[in-house]
Structure 1
Amino acid sequence: MKRFWVTWGERYLYRPSFVQKILSWLLLPLSGLYCLIAYLRYRRTTPKTFPIPIVSVGNLTVGGSGKTPVVIELAKRFEKSAIVLRGYGRRSRGMVVVKDKATILCDVVQSGDEAMLYAHSLSNTTVIVSEIRERGIAEAASMGCEVVFLDDGYGKHSIQKLDLVIDVATPNRFCLPSGPYREKLWSGKKAVHLREGETFSRRVTIIDPTEKMVLVTAIARPERLDPFLSDVIEKVYFEDHHFFTQGELEGILERTGATSLLVTQKDLVKIAPFNLSVSVMDLSLELDEALISLVKDYVHAAQN
């Protein structure tokens, strides 16, 4: 039942049916109130400067936008970088250092899937999860990091930073609850827009493909994977950040007769301990050189 409502909600926000559009219009007064509160919160906040440059990669809407691979590609280009994120879906609270420069210090249950993906993908980057991002930033600075990449930080208006915002295409331009927007790009708020096909491009290859693969994934808006999929015998979607059990995955393999589970790298960090037959959608990202130069210039200027 939960899976049904997650799918229904994603369709409502991004590809609404006629009935869902009517519901969206009926909720517009609430959306107007929501937007007003978000705007007033922005206007009443004064950004605080930290002793370390901060670059935020995020989006204005709920749901996935592909920010994780963008953060990974940018963090690779700095020797003493840190990534700070909330750690959605983790079963821990407070600030947790997931990885120092060399060592992973906790498991995926404590870190959450995105943080663990960062930890496995980046050999020289510190990874910290914290509901209070300021605490994570301060910890990164105390650990000797020289730049922080803030995962999903556009709405953290109290933090002085460079905002990179990934544009997500949607015909629904309303704020919650009528549409997917958590915030708008407020007047006076500077941000660099990233667009797939312009600022970055993706290439996906399948590692260890088998003859009969079943797609199993727990990411937001899983239809984003469709352009990169090879033939699969079925698609099984779970809610974003879902922690799989070995039994449910074995059940999917048995029910479908699949020879392997096709998963994303984000899913893999939760599935790997089960020792099941797995094929992986390996994503590589190419960033525009102008974006890389812009980020490096910002970081170097803030350090001087």
Structure 2
Amino acid sequence: MIGPFSSLRRAMYRRGILRSESLPRPVVSVGNLAAGGSGKTPHVRFLASWMTGLGLKVAVLTRGYGRESRGIVWVSRGGGPLVSARMGGDEPVLLAGSLPGVPVLAGEARVQAGMECLRRQEVDVFLLDDAFQHLSLRRDADILLVDAGRGLGNRLTLPLGPLREPAGNARFADALVVTKCAGLAQGEGVAATVPFPADRPRAFSRLVARSLVERGGAESPLPSPGVEVVAFCGLARNDQFSATLRESGFVIRKFMGYADHHWYRTSEIGKIASAAGGLTVLTTEKDLVRLPDRLPFDVKAVRVGVEFLAGWDSLSRFLLERMRFAGGA
């Protein structure tokens, strides 16, 4: 049972039995309690773009789930991906391709990845992707994401439920963001079920389709509603992608879903090509970087962005305060 182990591990870090290390720059973490997608990568991209817009030099540190490499990998030095998704991980490569000027490093030990980054580039703040359980690195702001569509599920830990650690550990977060909200009322209802202190920042967001992205990175506007498409993806919740397509006005003639972080085989590529029959083929950005180099069809990814329904003002003020305090300003 993962629940008792994760609680014991967190308690050992809090009591100093296991020691956390620090980086000499502010560290902001984005993570979740539940296994699977809560929108971590889009929120990391949103935060990185916001911080960059403030004139800060941002670097992203990530584990690089599913990669075939070990140790520290420079996924990007700020000029786009340097490695394939197999070597850097699909989500790091996605971030590397959509965050110009932002270095992205994958590494099991993120404090070492952060120090490696500082040896070669100037950094004002580190963003950690999927790091609520990465307790070996101290953070100045710990943002917990909860998917509005499923909340905390049955509130049990793996394998009996969806949680990586007990629901009560939400109290260790500094800020809460309820993501993928159909509306503010839904988000507020889900937030009320999360054991999170009432005096800390909470915000509510949704993911919205912004544009279409080609494999080379070229971006184009969404077409007018009514375009017929064939779509596929491999996410924790594939139904959310199909819902996003319908909300954006696409007419889905065929939808194929695969497991999260799925690597596409030749036979599967053939099935997608057969289903396409000349129609536009759409997938997610995360799937786009996992596809083989050569395809028998043209494919584009739907780029989604984060839109806050409420709470961003208080959350952004909180983050600025934490970063300023950590930076000694």
Q: Same fold (TM over 0.5)?
A: yes
Q: Highest relative contact order (Cα 8 Å, sep 6+), 1 or 2? A: 1
Q: Residues 77-226 of structure 1 correspond to what in structure 2 (within 5 A)?
A: 77-78=51-52, 79-142=56-119, 143-161=121-139, 162-168=141-147, 169-184=151-166, 185-186=168-169, 189-196=172-179, 197=181, 198-205=203-210, 207=212, 211-226=227-242
Give the CA deviation at 1:92.
1.3
What is the distance in 1 between the residues matched to 2:84 and 2:165? Answer: 33
What is the distance in 1 between the residues matched to 2:117 and 2:178? Answer: 29
Q: Which residue of 2 aligns with 1:302?
A: 326
Give the CA deviation at 1:140.
2.4
Aligned residues: 272
Which of the residues 62, 70, 87 maps onto 2:43?
A: 70
Matched residue type, 1:42:
R
Secondary structure of the residue that 1:199 maps to in structure 2? strand
What is the distance in 2 between the residues matched to 1:269 and 1:277? Answer: 14
Q: Which residue of 2 aligns with 1:54?
A: 27
CA contact (8 A) 2:80 2:97 kept: no
Q: Residues 262-273 of structure 1 correspond to what in structure 2 (within 5 A)?
A: 262-271=282-291, 273=293
Give the CA deviation at 1:67.
0.7
What is the distance in 1 between the residues matched to 2:307 and 2:240? Answer: 18
CA contact (8 A) 2:68 2:86 kept: yes
Matched residue type, 2:178:
R
Give the CA deviation at 1:258.
5.6
CA contact (8 A) 2:264 2:292 kept: no
CA contact (8 A) 1:54 1:148 kept: yes
Deviates further, 185-194 or 106-115: 185-194
Q: Which residue of 1 aligns with 2:314?
A: 290
What is the distance in 2 between the residues matched to 1:255 and 1:144? Answer: 48
What is the distance in 1 between the residues matched to 2:160 and 2:306? Answer: 32
Specify every segment of 5 or more residues in structure 2 that has no aligned partner in the other structure, as ranges. Answer: 182-202, 213-221
What is the distance in 2 between the residues matched to 1:58 and 1:65? Answer: 9
What is the distance in 1 between the residues matched to 2:241 and 2:80? Answer: 31
Matched residue type, 2:239:
E
What is the distance in 1 between the residues matched to 2:154 and 2:74? Answer: 38
Give the CA deviation at 1:252.
1.8
What is the distance in 2 between the residues matched to 1:124 and 1:136? Answer: 18
CA contact (8 A) 1:263 1:279 kept: yes
Give the CA deviation at 1:295.
1.6
Deviates further, 121-130 or 169-178: 169-178
What is the distance in 2 between the residues matched to 1:83 and 1:199? Answer: 23
Matched residue type, 1:274:
R
What is the distance in 2 between the residues matched to 1:250 and 1:170? Answer: 38
Which has the larger strand fraction?
2
Identity within the alignment, %: 29
Moved over 6 A (4+): none
What is the distance in 1 between the residues matched to 2:326 and 2:153? Answer: 38
Secondary structure of the residue that 1:262 maps to in structure 2? strand
Matched residue type, 1:251:
K
Specify every segment of 5 or more residues in structure 1 that has no aligned partner in the other structure, as ranges. Answer: 1-29
- 1:242 equivalent to 2:262? Answer yes
Matched residue type, 2:301:
V
Cα pair distance change 1:187/1:225, threshold 3 Å: closer
